[in-house]
Amino acid sequence: IRRPPRSTPKPSSAASDVYKRQVKVHYHGYFPDTNEVFDSSLDREPLTFTVGKGQMIPGFEAELLGSEVSEKRTFTLEPDRAYGHRDETRITDMPFPDFPDGIVVGMKFQAEVNGMPMPFEIISINPEEGDSGTVTCDFNHPMAGKALTFEVEVVEITLDESCNDPGCGCGN
């Protein structure tokens, strides 16, 4: 992602300038082992993000650094640069009575942990007699442990000087 041209020069450090870029891209994402598409922006508006704000998985943003408008790139991210590796400690049993009637394996829910939403999937149901039993829940991201391939076209790069977040690294 290269610096967009400016009509009037403005003082800025090269290190912080990269974090002021708002980028629009079209992308097509698929699992390289099966070619199954997991997401695509080709039939909708381009994806917009600001570099350095943590809006994208780390490898996606890193792979686009140095790119220019109209440039196309294809890259594969291993789990450590995407959604991480699966963590078996993120699989836990919860009390069966805490769930509504009619639950089935594969259903997705969201819990609140320390005030933050935490999505999870039911991977097994272990009912016992009466109101006891457990439900095994997987709190891993659905794409954890998977390699992801992206075909990306940079549509637009602009300078985002509207940032008011002191923690994003842009220097505003």
76-118 per-position pLDDT tens digit = 999 999 999 999 999 999 999 999 999 999 999 998 888 889 9
Average pLDDT value for the chain: 85
Give the whole-angstrom CA distance, residue 40 versus residue 49.
15
Residue 152: which residues within 8 A CB-CB, separation 6 or more? 25, 26, 27, 28, 63, 64, 72, 73, 74, 75
Strand partners, 77: 148
Q: What is the pLDDT of residues 67-83, one digit of tens each?
A: 999 999 999 999 999 99
Give the whole-angstrom CA distance, residue 112 versus residue 135.
17
